[in-house]
C-alpha cells in the first residue's frame, strides 16, 4: 500500500506541475484567459502529490515497511521513533522528497500571497516558472531517484538504520529542514526575477516582493547553517564546527549572494541603481542552490554530509543547472537596455558606493569558495589526480575579505545617500572609532597577541559600536517599537555577525589542544583547568551500547562517551562540553581502556568565547525576523526611516558641510 500510495503522490505532483506548466504557458502565449485561469489551479495538485508522497514515506518508516528499498536501507527495528521520522531526509531519495514537499509549500504560499493579483502577467509568469522547477524535481524522483522503489528479491526483516551520526542528536530533526527551507525558499525570488525580465517589469515593484521572500529564505538558511555548525561541534568529536567541507561550502555560496542582494536591493529602492546587480544576484543564488544540490547528491564529492548517487541524479541536476544558468544569462542580456541606470553615477563616498563595494566583496568571497570547491573536481576530471583544497587555502583567501566586510558594516550605515562630507563621517564614526581603539588597548593589555586577531577584534568593535549607535538613535526617537523593520532588524543582524566574527577569531586563534592519557583517580592540570578521571560505565539501550566516562573538570562532573550501534561497525563520539561566557572546555574520548586500570585517552580542547558563536547566530536570525515584521512608522512615512533621518529628527548637532536634504 505504501508503495502504491507514494508512487501515486509523485505521479500526481508531476502531472500537476506539467499540467500547470502547459496550460498556463499556452494561456500566456495565446492570450487565452480561460487557460490562464485553469493553469493556476494545478498548484493544488502539486501540493496534494507532495503531501500524499510524504505521508506514504512516513507511514512506511513508522511501520518498518521493509518492502521499500529506501526503508530497508535507512530504517531498523532498533531505531527510535524520532530518528525513524528524520530518516526521510537522511538519504538521497528521501531528501529529494523533502525538497519537493517544501517547494510545493512555497508555491502554495506564493499562490495565496498573490491571490488578489492572479491576473497580472508578472504574477502569472512567476507561477509558470514555479511549475517548471516543480516538474523537474518530481520528475527527478520518478525517473532517477524513486523513494518508493521496491526491494529486489525477498523482503528483509531488518535494516541497518540511519547513519549512526544521524542518530546521535535531535539536531537532525531541525538542521536539514531549516537548511532546506532556506535553500528551496530562494526559488520564489528566482521566479519573480525571471517574471520581471520576461514581462519587462524591472522597476522597484518586483524588488520589494523578492526581498521579502529572500529575507525569509536567508533567515532559514542562516539558522540551518548555525545549527549545522552546532551539530558538527556536538557530534563529530573533533572540537571544530566548520571545516570548509565541499558540502558546507555548497550551502554557504547561496548565503553569500543572497546577503549581497539584501544589501544592494536598498540601493535600487532608494536610488533606482544596481538593477543588473540585483537581478543577477537573485538568479545566481538559485543557480548556486541547484549547483550545491548537484554537489551533495551526485556522488562526485566524498563528505560526511553528502549522499551516494544511486542513478542518474547527478547528470540530471547538472543539466538543470546548465539550463537555468543559460536561461538567466540570456534573459539578462535580452533586457540589458532596460536595466541601465540613467541617473548620476555612483559616488565612492556614499551609501550606494558602500553597498556596491559590499557587493564586490561578497562576490569575491563567493568566487573564492566556488573555486576552492570546484577546482579538485576539475583536476580529477582532466588528469585523474585526486587533490584536496582545505582550510589553509580558504582561511588565507577569505580572511582579508571578511576584514573588509566588517569595515564596511561599520561605515555603510553611517554614510548618507548620494555623497558624504568629511564632517558628517567624523561625527557619525567618532564613537565607533573610539570603541575600536578601546578594544585594541584592552586586548593588548590583557595579553592578546597576533596581528589578524587584533585587527579582527578592532573591526568587530568598530562595526558593533556603529550598529549600537544606530539602534540607540532609533530607540531614542521611537522607543522599542522602532526596532522592527529593515533598519532596526539590519542593525541587530550586524550585532549578531559581530559576535560570530569575534567567536570564530578567538576560538581559532587561541585554541589550546592536548591529548591526555588519564588514569583513574589522578589529577591532571591543563591550561588552568583541573581534570580528574573517576571511572567509566557501560550503558545498554535498544540498538546501541554506550561507554560513558566521568571527568571532573574544575569540580564539576562531565560525561564524554562513545556509542556503538548494534547494526554498525562505526563508533560515534559523544563529547561533553563545559561552556562559559569566556571559554569552552571540550572533552572527547580518543581511546578507551581494554581492561580495568588502563589509562583513558582524552582529547581536550579549550576554545575561548565559543558560546558567542551560537548567541551571535541566534541574534542574526532574530534580526532577520525583525526586518520582516510590520512597522507602524512604515505606514506613516511610506518606508523605513533612514538612520541619518532619525538623527535629524533627534536634533543632533548640525552638519554644516552636508545639507539635510542632501543627507537624504
Clarify whether residues 527 and 590 are in a common domain.
yes
CB 69 within 8 A of CB 151: yes
Structural domain ending residue among the three candidates 110, 134, 162 = 162
**pLDDT of 611 above 90:** yes
524 SS3 class: strand
Distance, in Å, from the CA atom of 98 to the CA atom of 189, rounded to the nearest integer, reads 20
- pLDDT tens per residue across span 481-520: 888 888 889 999 999 999 999 999 999 999 999 999 999 8
Q: Would the CA dihedral through 379, 383, 384, 388 be positive or negative?
A: negative
**pLDDT of 260 above 60:** yes
Q: Please report whether residue 58 resides in a domain.
A: yes
Q: Please report whether residue 625 resides in a domain.
A: yes
**pLDDT of 395 above 60:** yes
Q: Average pLDDT of 53-67?
A: 96
**pLDDT (0 to 100) of residue 643:** 41
Clarify whether residues 438 and 497 are in a common domain.
yes
Clarify whether residues 477 and 536 are in a common domain.
no
Nearest C-alpha neighbor of 468 from the set 445, 496, 491: 491
344 confidence band (pLDDT: 50, 70, 90): low
Number of domains in the chain: 3
DSSP 342: -
Clarify whether residues 499 and 516 are in a common domain.
no
Q: How many Cβ atoms sit within 10 Å of the Cβ of residue 208?
A: 13
β-pairing, 571-574 vs 576-579, is unpaired
Q: Which residues pair with 578 in a beta bridge?
A: 585
Clarify whether residues 446 and 562 are in a common domain.
no
CB 244 within 8 A of CB 390: yes
CB 532 within 8 A of CB 523: yes
Clarify whether residues 18 and 137 are in a common domain.
yes
Q: Please report whether residue 551 resides in a domain.
A: yes
Clarify whether residues 543 and 623 are in a common domain.
no
Clarify whether residues 598 and 648 are in a common domain.
no
Structural domain ending residue among the three candidates 143, 162, 181 = 162
Matching residue, cell 523578492: 210
Q: Which residues pair with 577 in a beta bridge?
A: 586
Q: Would the CA dihedral through 205, 133, 628, 401 be positive or negative?
A: negative
Clarify whether residues 471 and 589 are in a common domain.
no
Q: Please report whether residue 235 resides in a domain.
A: no
383 confidence band (pLDDT: 50, 70, 90): confident
Task: Retrieve residue 519's grid coordinates.
Answer: 588514569
Clarify whether residues 456 and 604 are in a common domain.
no
**pLDDT of 543 above 70:** yes
User: What H or E segment, with its residue span, contains residue 184?
Assistant: helix 175-185
**pLDDT of 420 above 90:** no
Clarify whether residues 419 and 476 are in a common domain.
yes
Clarify whether residues 593 and 627 are in a common domain.
no
Mean of the per-residue pLDDT values of the chain: 87
Structural domain ending residue among the three candidates 608, 624, 645 = 608
Domain that holds residue 588: 512-608
Amino acid at each position: 500500500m505504501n508503495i502504491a500510495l507514494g508512487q501515486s503522490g509523485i505521479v500526481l505532483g508531476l502531472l500537476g506541475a506539467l499540467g500547470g506548466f502547459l496550460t498556463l504557458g499556452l494561456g500566456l502565449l495565446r492570450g487565452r484567459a480561460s487557460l490562464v485561469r485553469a493553469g493556476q489551479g494545478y498548484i493544488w495538485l502539486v501540493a496534494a502529490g507532495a503531501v500524499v508522497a510524504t505521508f506514504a514515506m512516513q507511514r512506511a518508516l513508522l511501520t518498518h515497511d521493509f518492502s521499500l528499498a529506501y526503508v530497508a536501507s535507512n530504517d531498523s527495528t532498533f531505531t527510535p521513533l524520532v530518528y525513524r521520522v528524520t530518516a526521510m531526509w537522511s538519504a538521497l531519495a528521501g531528501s529529494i522528497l523533502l525538497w519537493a514537499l517544501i517547494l510545493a509549500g512555497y508555491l502554495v504560499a506564493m499562490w495565496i500571497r498573490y491571490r488578489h493579483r492572479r491576473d497580472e502577467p508578472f504574477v502569472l509568469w512567476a507561477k509558470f516558472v514555479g511549475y517548471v522547477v516543480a516538474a523537474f524535481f518530481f520528475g527527478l524522483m520518478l525517473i532517477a531517484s524513486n523513494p518508493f522503489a521496491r526491494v529486489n528479491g525477498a523482503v528483509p526483516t531488518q535494516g541497518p538504520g540511519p547513519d549512526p551520526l544521524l542518530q546521535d542528536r535531535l539536531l537532525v530533526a531541525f538542521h536539514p529542514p531549516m537548511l532546506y527551507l532556506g535553500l528551496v525558499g530562494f526559488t520564489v525570488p528566482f521566479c519573480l526575477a525571471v517574471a520581471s525580465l520576461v514581462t519587462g517589469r524591472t522597476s522597484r515593484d518586483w524588488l520589494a516582493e523578492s526581498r521579502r521572500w529572500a529575507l525569509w529564505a536567508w533567515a532559514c538558511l542562516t539558522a540551518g547553517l548555525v545549527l549545522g555548525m552546532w551539530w558538527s561541534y556536538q557530534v563529530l568529536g573533533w572540537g571544530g564546527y566548520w571545516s570548509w567541507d565541499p558540502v558546507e561550502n555548497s550551502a554557504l555560496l547561496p548565503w553569500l549572494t543572497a546577503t549581497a542582494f539584501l544589501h544592494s536591493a536598498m540601493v535600487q529602492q532608494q536610488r533606482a541603481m544596481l538593477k543588473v546587480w540585483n537581478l543577477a544576484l537573485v538568479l545566481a543564488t538559485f543557480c548556486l542552490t541547484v549547483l550545491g544540490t548537484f554537489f551533495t547528491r551526485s556522488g562526485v564529492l566524498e563528505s560526511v554530509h553528502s549522499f551516494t548517487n544511486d542513478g542518474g541524479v547527478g547528470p540530471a541536476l547538472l543539466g538543470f543547472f546548465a539550463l537555468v544558468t543559460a536561461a538567466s544569462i540570456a534573459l539578462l542580456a535580452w533586457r540589458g537596455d532596460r536595466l541601465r541606470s540613467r541617473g548620476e553615477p555612483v559616488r565612492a563616498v556614499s551609501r550606494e558606493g558602500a553597498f556596491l563595494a559590499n557587493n564586490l566583496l561578497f562576490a569575491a568571497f563567493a568566487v573564492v569558495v566556488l573555486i576552492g570547491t570546484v577546482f579538485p573536481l576539475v583536476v580529477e576530471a582532466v588528469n585523474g589526480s585526486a587533490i584536496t583544497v582545505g582550510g589553509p587555502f580558504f582561511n588565507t583567501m577569505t580572511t582579508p575579505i571578511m576584514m573588509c566586510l566588517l569595515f564596511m558594516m561599520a561605515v555603510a550605515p553611517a554614510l548618507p545617500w548620494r555623497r558624504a562630507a568629511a564632517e558628517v563621517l567624523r561625527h557619525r564614526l567618532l564613537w565607533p572609532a573610539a570603541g575600536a581603539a578601546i578594544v585594541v588597548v584592552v586586548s593588548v593589555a590583557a595579553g592578546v597577541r597576533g596581528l589578524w586577531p587584533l585587527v579582527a577584534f578592532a573591526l568587530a568593535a568598530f562595526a558593533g559600536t556603529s550598529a549600537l549607535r544606530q539602534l540607540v538613535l532609533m530607540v531614542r526617537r521611537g522607543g522599542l517599537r522602532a526596532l522592527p523593520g529593515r533598519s532596526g532588524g539590519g542593525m541587530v543582524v550586524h550585532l549578531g555577525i559581530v559576535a560570530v566574527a569575534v567567536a570564530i577569531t578567538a576560538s581559532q586563534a587561541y585554541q589550546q589542544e592536548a591529548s591526555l592519557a588519564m588514569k583513574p583517580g589522578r589529577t591532571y592540570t591543563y591550561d588552568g583547568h583541573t581534570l580528574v578521571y573517576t571511572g567509566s560505565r557501560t550503558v545498554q539501550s535498544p540498538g546501541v551500547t554506550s561507554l560513558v566516562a566521568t571527568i571532573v573538570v574544575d569540580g564539576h562532573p562531565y560525561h564524554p562517551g562513545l556509542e556503538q550501534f548494534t547494526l554498525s561497525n562505526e563508533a560515534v563520539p559523544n563529547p561533553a562540553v563545559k561552556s562559559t561566557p569566556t571559554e569552552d572546555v571540550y572533552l572527547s574520548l580518543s581511546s578507551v581502556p581494554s581492561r580495568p586500570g588502563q589509562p583513558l585517552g582524552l582529547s581536550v580542547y579549550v576554545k575561548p568565547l565559543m558560546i558567542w558563536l551560537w548567541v551571535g547566530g541566534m541574534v542574526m536570525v532574530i534580526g532577520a525576523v525583525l526586518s520582516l515584521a510590520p512597522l507602524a512608522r512604515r505606514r506613516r512615512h511610506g518606508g523605513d526611516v533612514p538612520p541619518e533621518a532619525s538623527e535629524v529628527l533627534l536634533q543632533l548637532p548640525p552638519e554644516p558641510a552636508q545639507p539635510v536634504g542632501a543627507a537624504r
